[in-house]
Amino acid sequence: MSSKFEDIVEKAIDAISEELREISLKIHDNPELALEENFAHKILSDYLESKGFTVKRHAYGLKTAFRAEFENKTNHEEKKRTVSFNSEYDALPGIGHACGHNLIAISGVAAAYGVKCSIEALNLPGKVVLFGTPAEEKYSGKVKIISAGAYKDVDICMMVHPAWVDTVEPVYLAIRRAEVEYFGVAAHAAASPWEGKNALDAAVQAYNALSMLRQQVFPSDRIHGIITNGGKAANIIPDYASLSFYIRSRRYANLAPLQEKTSACFTAAAEAAGCKYKIDWTDGLFGRDRFEKYMTERGVKYLPNVVDLTGSTDMGNVSYNIPGIHVLFNIGEENTRTPKFHTIEFEKLAKTSTAHVKTIRAAKCLALTALDVLTDDQLFREVRKDFEDGVQPKI
């Protein structure tokens, strides 16, 4: 079905490749943390408007989110579908774009533009939407825009993520985040320690209890975190301490019992130290054949059975609301199973010309996959069935 699209998509995305390269480098060299991506928000919004998209800036109650769309207003309402993509652009503290979000930003723009040009050239019924989704690294920004109504009017959402390996079947762990605070009573640690209630003791107790809990969870589950506040001075018994912890599981259903066990550790630590406490849980994180076909045709060689790749992304939350895929593409010279995310090495790799060329290739395949969904009725029915059956769509 997509053979008629390939020439349009190739030429359209190639025509803007150098412009996107410039945008990618500017975002890379101006890293912005979660919900502070003002530069990226503006440069992407401005560019999309210049390419004929209608852009809503500061969308869904987030100042650095946007929604860009293009629609062919034909009379074929019964056949009209909406495909969408995500662009991420937040950076990491201290190590900038060590997750390659500058590349994710332009991959979404390129894919959306390729679909737009095909809709225009062939007068196809349908709409393409690009969501600018901030704060993936820290605040699960897609969770926030889902709550504000994003994705309700789209049929599918897709994105690609730069990596050290090509795979269409990464394992993403569902995630919840706990921000825990302990409230004690301050006292002089030498003169009158018996008057204090040590909030740091509660935090340390909780940390140790969670370390022991790891022995009794599924091998695929993860519990990890840090003490974010441990007091102000060594001679003062801390009246306040806090922790930040993540729990992750390969199955969303496993999160509830894992959260219960984790909460018990936080609660017991407070009781043992005689402190009050507060736990703030936030929901976090949790599909490919057509994409793989297009990538393979363009020279990508997939490693077999890459099932040991685990991570988390708020794109998982999107895929619990509508069909979605989130695939990894290698931006290095060779496929490897050695993780490199969130490293200085990956930050440097994310600005290379090789990474850009591979991002453009992945974006073309993403656009072609979306056009299949937009125009192939049988494929669309299969995607919907997979989603309703609770499996990752094989697109």
Please tell me the distance from the alpha carbon of residue 388 to that of residue 304, in angstroms, as a whole number: 28
What are the strands, taking DSSP E only, across 88-194? 126-132, 156-163, 171-172, 174-183, 187-188
Please tell me the distance from the alpha carbon of residue 178 to that of residue 266, in angstroms, as a whole number: 10
Crossing angle of helices 353-375/3-29, nearest 10°?
A: 140
Residue 167 — pLDDT band, cuts 50, 70, 90?
Answer: confident
Query: What's the pLDDT score for residue 358?
Result: 96
Please tell me the distance from the alpha carbon of residue 263 to that of residue 260, in angstroms, as a whole number: 5
Q: Is 392 a residue whose pLDDT tops 60?
A: no
Higher-scoring residue by pLDDT: 204, 376: 204
* Percentage, residues of the chain above pLDDT 90: 65
Query: What's the pLDDT score for residue 263?
Result: 96
pLDDT in tens, 251-299: 556 778 899 999 999 999 999 999 999 998 875 433 466 887 888 899 8
Q: Is 24 a residue whose pLDDT tops 80?
A: yes
Query: What's the pLDDT score for residue 37?
Result: 97
Quickly list DSSP for 173-227: PEEEEEEEEEE-B-EETTT-GGG-B-HHHHHHHHHHHHHHHGGGS-TT-EEEEEE
HSE at residue 143, side-chain half, CA atoms within 13 A, is 20
CA angle 368/370/376 to nearest 5° reads: 95
In the three-class reduction of DSSP (H, G, I as helix; E, B as strand; rest coil), residue 279 is classed as: strand
Do 34 and 141 contact (CB within 8 A), yes or no?
A: yes
Do 162 and 331 contact (CB within 8 A), yes or no?
A: yes
Query: What's the pLDDT score for residue 168?
Result: 65
Helical (H) or strand (E) element with 72: strand 66-72
Q: Is 243 a residue whose pLDDT tops 60?
A: yes
CATH number among 1.10.760.10, 3.40.630.10, 3.30.420.40, 3.30.565.10, domain 3-172+286-388: 3.40.630.10
Mean pLDDT computed over every residue of the chain: 87
* Percentage, residues of the chain above pLDDT 70: 85
188 phi, psi to nearest 5 deg: -75, 125
Query: What's the pLDDT score for residue 306?
Result: 46
Please tell me the distance from the alpha carbon of residue 202 to that of residue 182, in angstroms, as a whole number: 7
Query: What's the pLDDT score for residue 305?
Result: 47
Do 131 and 82 contact (CB within 8 A), yes or no?
A: no
Whole-model pTM: value is: 0.70
Do 171 and 309 contact (CB within 8 A), yes or no?
A: yes
pLDDT in tens, 113-136: 999 999 999 999 999 999 999 998
CATH 3.30.70.360 domain span(s) along the chain: 178-283
HSE at residue 375, side-chain half, CA atoms within 13 A, is 18
How many CB atoms neighbour CB 314 within 10 A? 25
Q: How many residues does the chain have?
A: 395
pLDDT in tens, 304-336: 544 445 455 655 566 557 788 888 899 987 766
Give Cβ neighbours of residue 303 (< 8 Å, ≥ 6 apart): 165, 166, 167, 335, 337
Please tell me the distance from the alpha carbon of residue 388 to that of residue 69, in angstroms, as a whole number: 26
Please tell me the distance from the alpha carbon of residue 244 to that of residue 101, in angstroms, as a whole number: 24
Residue 3 — pLDDT band, cuts 50, 70, 90?
Answer: low
CATH 3.40.630.10 domain span(s) along the chain: 3-172+286-388
* CATH number at 178-283: 3.30.70.360
Do 362 and 107 contact (CB within 8 A), yes or no?
A: yes
Strands 156-163 and 82-87, by their bridges, are parallel
